[in-house]
A and B are shown apart, each in its own frame.
Chain A
Amino acid sequence: MDFLNAIVALANYVLVPGIAYGSQLALGALGVTLVYGILRFSNFAHGDTMALGAMSAVLITWGFQFLGLHLWVLPTALLALPFAIIVTIGLLLGTDRMVYKFYREKKAKPVIFVIVSLGVTFIYNGITRFIIGSDDQNFLDGERFIISARTFKRMTGLEEGLAIKTTQGLTVITAIIVVAVLFWFLNKTRSGKSMRAYSDNEDLALLSGINPERVVMITWIIVACLATTAGVLYGLDKSFKPFTYFQLLLPVFASAIVGGLGNPVGAIAGGFVIAFSEVTITYAWKKVLGYMMPESLAPDGLVQLLSTDYKFAVSFVILLIVLLFKPTGLFKGQSV
């Protein structure tokens, strides 16, 4: 019984949040990795693209709620997501036309692109805060839990409860759908194949008649979908606050680099590696160990390796280790 309790506690505090957070990071890292593969720079504005996308979703959700539109037990934000994606697509294509295109035509060094993207970051951040302010915004409605801790305890008679939030379930399902569609697109369609060709060898792709501007446009559209979805899911799961998205940049980059920049499979794997390291290292293991060990050996302290304030340090240390030992990432990324 104790063993079962330990597993349930582990699932409740580590597995379920880890999977949900990992899916969010994976979606974010996919966006970063695609920009890196096609446009060949690390996009610092990605975190704030997620924030802007999520903000449009929040505003549209409020509009729908005002009109009385609901999705039964699901959050209304899901209904708003497609519209928010359209807004973000417009924003990213506009930014590309006004900002990045100039440097692309000049064939500027990657580091110039990075600086420019930092400028874009602050403009996006300014827009977000200008429109919605810098406070926490709640836009979650519908049923809160798939299984609440109390129901689970009643069903199983265990001491420990397992709660799965609707947002966690949604995150995982949405992430699976988005990733499946993305991979189908990259591997099966003509546009997707031209994107991969362009990413592999630009000159060769140009020679075989691939239109680079079209590839870039498709990339931004996909990145907008990924960033908005990731931003909305993160906002639903935790809460929407403009500043948190800038801080999300570090774990997202770490995921993309751990997996290998430019490699979509790697981005997904990296997202889960970072998420699970963060959750396991900042989780207080007292409860689980208390069930697993005989009473006399049960630990006194919280058995928390690092306080949650240092969760960014976890992704950073993993990043450093990967840079030191395998700079191309776990899955072979593009270049060092």
Chain B
Amino acid sequence: MNETLRNTGLFAVITALIIYTGFAQSWNAALLIISMGLISSIMALGVNIQWGFAGLFNVGIMGFVALGGLAAVLIGMPPTEGAWSAGGWGIVSALLLGAGTIIVTVQVMRRMAKGWLRTAVVLALLVGGFFLFRAILDPSVAAVESINPAGTGYLGGLGLPVIIAWPVGGLFAAGAAWIIGKTALGLRSDYLAIATLGIAEIIIAILKNEDWLSRGVKNVIGIPRPVPYEIDLQNDPGFVARATDFGLTSVEASTLWVKFLYIVLFAAVLLILLWLSQRALNSPWGRMLRAIRDNEVAAEAMGKDVTARHLQVFILGSAICGIAGAMMTTLDSQLTPGSYQPLRFTFLIWVMVIVGGSGNNFGAVLGGFLMWYLWVMVEPMGMWLMNVITYGMADGYWLKDHLIESAAHMLLMTMGAVLLLVLRFSPRGLIPEK
């Protein structure tokens, strides 16, 4: 069997699985799997660029995805009335002051000669800057958060079309990646892993606690959509007439149509990114990256700037994860910082890349769809398994209750086991690198 046929076969299998879900469960469920599969594939593509092309280990995908989600809020939501005049400008100036302090400190570090004087100046700058920062920030934050805390209590966004948030989400993620890459790249490979683990935790902590920015755990809901609302479609006589032509009720037709429009949008983004990644992979730049990945010392001896290339590819990959994060928040039309978990947003994406075939863009896309399908299906399967195991036990028996309760944790073990098994027995994945 030749390679193209085999790969087409693999994609056909996942298509068949989704069509089966459509018939067995509902087409709404099937379309939802496709749209989340598309988003997952984009995330996997981003990680594949980092790991497959360059061998960089990023454990902070969750953080970059969450930053994309924040972009959707900051771009899409309407500005909160009175928030900017109450404290918005205060917050912005405090943040600028904070950034300025850091820049000045870095300049002082560079310019002044080493010695106790430099240490003293740097410390004075940092401590003074910090207190000034807090002095301006705190009252402004309090002012913003006191505006109708039950409904808004945050700055709101710019009220622009939410699609703009997608590239902006990429930019946010790229910014965070730059900070991490600048410090941790060029050192041991483990340090990047630990630093990304840290930045992810901190981004989530910021989203959870900075109410003026993201409403924290109160969540931002009702982010405007790039596609029409179901209710508007149901009130549109033209749409209802077309739906009845197909033999569908207006409710069914509207939910399916909205999901279909999302899929078209997401598929367009995926295709563009896939095309770009393929071009990058086969360009001299891509070959250089793989040369660096396979033998860093040799590549460096050939005059390649390993750290700079790593930084580039790390930023690019993270930006793609940010784009996917913004798309996901757009699809959910809400930002719920409490729902970002490392298992779902870091580990699952890794499993997608490894299973699909690291180093191969199509592999990442396949892995994205396949693992997302599994992810959705493992929990019901675990539940079913537990029901079978406990079939003979009496209702209310402690072991039965315990086993059924813990079915939810099957996901953790299944994903861990899938990763270990694939790494061990088929480390090149389903669609191996050429």
* Residues of A that sit less than 8 Å from B by CB: 41-42, 44, 99, 102, 109-112, 114-116, 118-123, 125-127, 129-131, 133-134, 246-247, 249-250, 253-254, 257, 301, 305, 307, 309-310, 312-313, 315-316, 319-320, 323-324, 327, 335-336
Contact = CB atoms under 8 A, between A and B. Distances in A.
Chain B interface residue count: which class? 35 or more
B412 interface: yes
A25 to B, nearest CB: 15
Interface string B318-342: 0000000000000000000000001
Contact of B197 (A112, A127, A250, A336): A250
**Interface of chain B, helix or strand or loop or mixed?**
helix
A263 B89 CA distance: 48
Contacts of A99: 420, 424
B190 A41 contact: yes
A319 B423 contact: no
Contact of B201 (A115, A307, A316, A323): A316
Given A115-B423, A126-B416, A250-B201, A309 B208 contact: yes
B202 A257 contact: no
A271 to B, nearest CB: 16
A301 B191 CA distance: 38
Interface string B352-395: 00100000000000000000000000000000000000000000
27 contacts: A44-B193, A109-B189, A110-B189, A111-B55, A111-B57, A111-B193, A114-B57, A114-B190, A115-B57, A116-B420, A118-B350, A122-B347, A122-B416, A123-B416, A126-B409, A127-B413, A129-B406, A129-B412, A130-B410, A250-B197, A254-B194, A301-B138, A307-B209, A309-B205, A316-B199, A320-B195, A323-B183
**Interface of chain A, helix or strand or loop or mixed?**
helix
B158 to A, nearest CB: 27
B252 interface: no
A313 B205 contact: yes
Contacts of A120: 416, 420
Nearest to B198: A316
Contact of A111 (B190, B198, B347, B416): B190
A112 B423 CA distance: 9
B419 interface: yes
A247 B62 CA distance: 14
Given A250-B201, A254-B194, A319-B194, 8 more contacts: A42-B190, A114-B57, A126-B416, A134-B409, A250-B194, A312-B198, A316-B195, A323-B195
B209 A247 contact: no
B198 A126 contact: no
Contacts of A131: 406
Most buried by A among B55, B184, B188, B193: B188
A116 B416 CA distance: 9
B108 to A, nearest CB: 14
A99 B55 CA distance: 21
A310 to B, nearest CB: 6
A114 B191 contact: no
Interface in B40-96: 55, 57, 59
A111 B50 CA distance: 13
A119 B57 CA distance: 14
Contacts of B417: 119, 123
Given A110-B189, A312-B205, A253 B413 contact: no
B213 to A, nearest CB: 14
A253 B420 contact: no
A173 B9 CA distance: 63
Contacts of A336: 187-188
A122 B415 contact: yes
B25 to A, nearest CB: 26
A126 B410 contact: yes
Nearest to A250: B198
Most buried by B among A122, A246, A313: A122
